[in-house]
């Protein structure tokens, strides 16, 4: 968590302010408002593949995956949430290129740690469909060289759900973030980037408080570096999770 928050100068301030607002909203008197708090864990069997650009090699992970934890608070139609996921990926002969302020580095047989933090603020403008803001921080670290790369930005998204019966619910979301790439070696902005995520799946209600969920998550990143290099990659895979909801009504 500390590595993620320390990658930019302004992002930690934004995150602290937003999280403080989330806590204030969570404990403020809500009258007769419907309130609930949901915590969850998820296993994501994603693969990491992409293109180093500019005639450089494509790459794909040999092994890897991520675990995620989340907490979401809802008051009537408003909700806010904090999601953190991360994992380690093994690459063989082809790996993501390291575009540093001092030049381009390549490596073989490397492990790369990747993590994402998302702070969400949303509102259900329609009964089953919401729009949300996403404050995002992404962090990657190459274990063999210690090189660290971060992406942070602010974006928008839409989410929705559709009950099938009293036990099954379909859900989906799409979000897009525009931001900056940072090189942790000199802590200066060193490119621009975008990120998008498409999620779809189903929820099974075990009882009123406990649910399991599964589906497919597609994440893509597109980075343009100040030195003219570019890099695209995606982390796609199936997920399975469990949520518990505390109802305060």
Residue showing tokens 């890897």: 64
Greatest alpha-carbon span in the chain: 60
Which portions of the chain are predicted below pLDDT 70? 1-33, 54-56, 101, 183-189
The predicted-structure confidence for 128-183, as pLDDT tens digits, reads as follows 999 999 999 999 998 888 888 899 999 999 999 999 999 999 999 999 999 998 76
By CB atoms closer than 10 A (0-12, 13-18, 19+), residue 9 is exposed
Domain regions of the chain by residue span: 2-247
What per-residue confidence (pLDDT) applies to 100?
73
Residue showing tokens 């982390």: 235
CATH architecture of 2-247: Beta Barrel (2.40)
The sign of the torsion formed by the CA atoms of 4, 72, 89, 182 equals negative
Q: Which residues contact 126 (CB under 8 A, 6 or more apart)?
A: none
The 3-class SS string of the chain reads CHHHHCCCCCHHHHHHHHHHHHHHHHHCCCCCCCEEEEEEEEEECCEEEEECCCCCCEEECCEECEEEEEEEEEECCEEEEEEEEEEEEEECCCCCCEEECCEEECCCCEEEEEEEEEEEEEECCCCCEEEEEEEEEEEEEECCCCCEEEEEEEEEEEEEEEECCCCEEEEEEEEEEEEEEEECCCCEEEEEEEEEEEEEEEEEECCCCEEEEEEEEEEEEEEEECCCCEEEEEEEEEEEEEEEEEECC
- pTM for the model stands at 0.84
Give the C-alpha separation, 96 to 110, whole Å.
9
Nearest to 203 by CA among 195, 213, 193: 213
């Amino acid at each position: 968590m500390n590595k993620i928050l320390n990658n930019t100068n302004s992002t930690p301030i934004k995150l602290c302010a937003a999280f403080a607002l989330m806590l204030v909203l969570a404990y403020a008197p809500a009258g007769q408002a419907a309130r609930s708090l949901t915590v969850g864990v998820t296993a994501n069997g994603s693969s990491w593949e992409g293109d180093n650009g500019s005639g450089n090699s494509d790459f794909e992970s040999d092994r890897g995956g991520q675990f995620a934890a989340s907490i979401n608070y809802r008051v009537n139609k408003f909700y806010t949430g904090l999601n953190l996921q991360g994992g380690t990926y093994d690459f063989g002969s082809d790996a993501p290129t390291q575009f540093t302020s001092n030049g381009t580095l390549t490596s073989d047989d490397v492990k790369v740690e990747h993590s994402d933090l998302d702070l969400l603020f949303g509102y259900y403008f329609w009964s089953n469909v919401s729009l949300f803001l996403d404050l995002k921080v992404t962090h990657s670290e190459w274990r063999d060289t210690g090189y660290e790369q971060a992406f942070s930005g602010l974006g928008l998204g839409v989410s929705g759900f559709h009950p099938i019966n009293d036990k099954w619910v379909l859900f989906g979301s799409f979000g897009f973030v525009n931001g900056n790439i940072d090189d942790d070696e000199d802590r200066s902005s060193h490119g621009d980037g975008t990120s998008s995520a498409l999620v779809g799946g189903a929820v099974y209600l075990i009882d009123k408080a406990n649910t399991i969920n599964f589906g497919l998550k597609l994440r893509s990143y597109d980075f343009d570096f100040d030195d003219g290099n570019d890099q695209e990659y995606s982390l796609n895979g199936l997920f399975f999770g469990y949520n518990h909801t505390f109802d305060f009504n």
